Amino acid sequence: MFCAMANVRLVDADQAPLLARPYYERGDPGPIVAALAQVPEVLEACLPFLGVVYGRSAVPARRKELVALRTSALLRCRYCVEAHTVVALDAGVSPAEVRALLGLEPTEAVFADPAELTLLAWVDAVAGGVGPVDPSLRAGLAGHFDDYEVVELTLLAGATLMLNRFCTALELPTSPETLRRLAAAGVAGAVR
Amino acid sequence: MTTAGAIAEAVAVGVLPGRVWLYSNYHCNLACTYCLTDSAPGVPRRVLPADHMLALAEEARDLGFTALGVTGGEPFLVSNMAEVLARLAELLPVVVLSNGTLFRGRRLEWLRPLAGLPVKIQISLDHAEPEPNDAARGEGCHATVLSAITRLRELGIGVRVATTGDEATDADRERLCALHRELGIGDEDHVVRPVVRRGRAAEAGLGRAVGPSDLPPELTITADGAFWSPFGPTVQGGRLDTDLLLTRTTLPLATPAGALLRLVEGRPRGADAGMGIR
């Protein structure tokens, strides 16, 4: 499965608890599931939630990945940055945009869409700050996004914050396939 | 229907077995060759505290379960076990599994309050003769157990006999049954079960491999969580098996009971009858 990097035991398929077994039916479920499988009732509640938050929805996948990757970069979650970089590339985010989301380039120099720049400012305030969020940022979003989109994207930032800390604290290992994809895209050095 | 109502109905109509098992502890004064839980004197004790057992029993009764089982490890290594059993028996009838080797002197006296209560002590006895019995269970066990059965019955405490291993010949079985009848244990109180290839038995290559479809869904609570069956929370090489784990949450009991019911409802009735593991 994975190299032994995590600081909790990742549950193998042959030890998968009964409620976790559906997540192993199509092979390696990844380290988040393999860790959550230690507590099947939590896994059973979390995975449907995460599936809805990160899955296909009314909000375009590209915008969702901008939020997930930017949040993960702000929280310096190595696992989430590597995983979401691959997903972001698949969702149409360019390698240059990945570097900007990682803070290696100014976002204003790479992103041209005012809606996306406004969204990134919102994410920086929500995920990178504490206390109340500047009302002017919320007002700025209103010009580009409906309320339902603001709700979904903000929840996505929050869920990503949770996973960032979970994956970082437990030192979850990135799969060899993800590392190969990062190398093939020429961004492996940027995300490490 | 509420989860509690659905569980009660499932128990009432036999979709879920009526007994809830509690693993009181994992340590044991013996180290049997086929032990599921790799129990022995020095292993981690994994004790289920008495107040937790009582809370589980109370909720089990309220959910409609009809009986309790207490197992280990050797439950009677827990110092206040007789008192715990008496309090459990105020809630539901109890069967407690024991190797039967500790019932002498003060420990036997401790059991006196159990006389007349709905508590039965199920004692392991695998063979009519000492040699094959003690080869798996430990030197001197056979004689000690026969003596214990007699003493417990003299105190008025209910006794059952459990035989592990179903490879015996008809003649072996007949001699064993003659012995338990001679001790005053009727056939209805003699349980025969196969060696299951889990725990130490798996390390020794003994017994039959089983999965959930071979085992009745008997809700089983341990210090590590709730399991599908008392054959679930096995230990091999010091590591707890989780393949038959239901939930880590054990209180409220409705949480693992609800999970068990959802899993059971996904399979046909009677699908667990194939290997006679009951």
Question: Do A101 and A181 reside in the same domain of the chain?
Answer: yes
Residue of B nearest to A16 (CA): B243
Instruction: Map tokens 């599994």 to a residue.
Output: B97
**Contacts with B229 (C-beta within 8 Å, 6 or more apart), sequence order:** B212, B215, B216, B217, B218, B220, B244
Select from B215, B228, B243, B267 the residue whose CB has the most chain A CBs within 10 Å, as the one to mutate to test that interface. B243
Mean of pLDDT values over A47-63: 97
Does pLDDT of A114 surpass 80? yes
**Residue A86 belongs to domain spanning:** 61-191
Select from A18, A24, A25, A42 the residue whose CB has the most chain B CBs within 10 Å, as the one to mutate to test that interface. A18
Q: What confidence category does residue A2 fall into, taking pLDDT thresholds of 50, 70 and 90?
A: very low
What sign has the CA pseudo-torsion A111, A112, A117, A119?
A: negative
Has residue A7 been placed in a domain? no
Question: What is the distance between the alpha carbons of residues B127 and B176, in angstroms, rounded to a whole number?
Answer: 6
> Cβ contacts (< 8 Å) between A37 and chain B: which residues?
242
Distance from CA of B240 to the nearest CA of A (A): 10
Does pLDDT of A191 surpass 80? no
Q: How confident is the prediction for chain A on average, in pLDDT?
A: 95
Does pLDDT of B62 surpass 90? yes
Measured between CB atoms, does B259 come within 8 Å of chain A? yes
pTM reported for the whole predicted model: 0.91
CB contact under 8 A, B247 and A38: no
Select from A23, A25, A41, A43 the residue whose CB has the most chain B CBs within 10 Å, as the one to mutate to test that interface. A41
Question: Do A81 and A159 reside in the same domain of the chain?
Answer: yes
Partner residues linked to B123 by β-bridges: B98, B161
Q: Could you report the per-residue pLDDT of A156-166, keeping only the tens digit for each?
A: 999 999 999 99
CB contact under 8 A, A17 and B249: no
CATH number where A115 lies: 1.20.1290.10
Phi, psi of B175 (to 5 degrees): -65, -40
Question: Do A78 and A134 reside in the same domain of the chain?
Answer: yes
Question: What is the distance between the alpha carbons of residues A85 and A138, in angstroms, rounded to a whole number?
Answer: 26
Residue-wise DSSP of B171-198:
HHHHHHHHHHHHTT--GGGEEEEPPBSS
Question: Do A104 and A33 reside in the same domain of the chain?
Answer: no
pLDDT at A163 (0 to 100): 98
pLDDT at B3 (0 to 100): 84
Mean of pLDDT values over A121-136: 96
CB contact under 8 A, A40 and B263: no
pLDDT at B278 (0 to 100): 44
Task: Give how many domains chain A has, as a whole number.
Answer: 2
Pinpoint the alpha helices (H) of chain B: 3-12, 50-63, 81-89, 105-110, 130-137, 141-155, 170-182, 199-203, 254-264
Looking at the partner chain, which of B243, B244, B249 has a beta carbon nearest the beta carbon of A41?
A: B249
Has residue A168 been placed in a domain? yes
Looking at the partner chain, which of A18, A41, A44 has a beta carbon nearest the beta carbon of B244?
A: A18
Has residue A36 been placed in a domain? yes
Q: How confident is the prediction for chain B on average, in pLDDT?
A: 94
Task: Give how many domains chain B has, as a whole number.
Answer: 1
CB A6 within 8 A of CB A173: yes
Better-scored residue on pLDDT, B136 or B93: B93
Has residue A102 been placed in a domain? yes
Burial readout A13-36 (b: 16 or more C-beta within 10 A, e: otherwise): bebbbbbbeebbeeeebbbbbbbb
| The last residue of a domain, from among A54, A80, A103 | A54
Has residue A5 been placed in a domain? no
Has residue A131 been placed in a domain? yes
Question: Do A90 and A28 reside in the same domain of the chain?
Answer: no
Question: What would the two tokens of residue A45 be?
Answer: 């509640």
**Maximum Cα–Cα distance across chain A:** 53
Helix axes B3-12, B254-264, angle to 10 degrees: 60
CB contact under 8 A, B246 and A18: yes
Q: What confidence category does residue B67 fall into, taking pLDDT thresholds of 50, 70 and 90?
A: very high
Distance from CA of A26 to the nearest CA of B (A): 17
CB contact under 8 A, B263 and A18: yes
pLDDT at A178 (0 to 100): 95
Q: What confidence category does residue B244 fall into, taking pLDDT thresholds of 50, 70 and 90?
A: very high
Question: Do A67 and A46 reside in the same domain of the chain?
Answer: no
Measured between CB atoms, does B245 come within 8 Å of chain A? yes
* Beta carbon pairs, A and B, within 8 Å: 41
Residue-wise DSSP of B69-80:
EEESS-GGGSTT
**Residue B102 belongs to domain spanning:** 3-264
Instruction: Map tokens 């599908």 to a residue.
Output: B228
Does pLDDT of B275 surpass 70? no
Residue of A nearest to B264 (CA): A18
Looking at the partner chain, which of B243, B247, B249 has a beta carbon nearest the beta carbon of A16?
A: B243
pLDDT at A4 (0 to 100): 45
What sign has the CA pseudo-torsion B231, B49, B44, B81?
A: negative
Q: Could you report the per-residue pLDDT of B114-166, keeping only the tens digit for each?
A: 999 999 999 999 999 999 999 999 999 999 999 999 999 999 999 999 999 87
CA angle B190, B73, B262 (to 5 degrees): 80
Question: Do A101 and A148 reside in the same domain of the chain?
Answer: yes
Question: Do A79 and A124 reside in the same domain of the chain?
Answer: yes
Has residue A8 been placed in a domain? no
- Least confident stretch, B26-40, B178-192, B214-228, B254-268: B254-268
Nearest to A14 by CA among B23, B239, B261: B239
pLDDT at B166 (0 to 100): 73
Does pLDDT of B182 surpass 90? yes
Question: Do A38 and A70 reside in the same domain of the chain?
Answer: no
CB contact under 8 A, A18 and B228: yes
CB B227 within 8 A of CB B246: yes
Has residue B270 been placed in a domain? no
CB contact under 8 A, A40 and B241: no
Measured between CB atoms, does B228 come within 8 Å of chain A? yes
CATH number where B164 lies: 3.20.20.70
pLDDT at B267 (0 to 100): 63
Would you call B58 helix, strand, or coil by DSSP? helix
Better-scored residue on pLDDT, A57 or A3: A57
CB B164 within 8 A of CB B195: yes
CB contact under 8 A, B243 and A15: yes
The predicted complex's ipTM stands at 0.86
Question: Do A94 and A137 reside in the same domain of the chain?
Answer: yes
Q: Could you report the per-residue pLDDT of A8-40, keeping only the tens digit for each?
A: 999 999 999 999 999 999 999 999 999 999 999
Question: What is the distance between the alpha carbons of residues B250 and B59, in angstroms, rounded to a whole number?
Answer: 11
Select from B197, B244, B245 the residue whose CB has the most chain A CBs within 10 Å, as the one to mutate to test that interface. B245
Looking at the partner chain, which of B212, B241, B247 has a beta carbon nearest the beta carbon of A40?
A: B247
pLDDT at B276 (0 to 100): 45
Residue-wise DSSP of B134-177:
HHHH-TTHHHHHHHHHHHHHHHT-EEEEEEE-S---HHHHHHHH
Select from B215, B236, B247, B251 the residue whose CB has the most chain A CBs within 10 Å, as the one to mutate to test that interface. B247
Has residue B273 been placed in a domain? no
- Percent of chain A at pLDDT exceeding 70: 97
Question: Do A42 and A78 reside in the same domain of the chain?
Answer: no
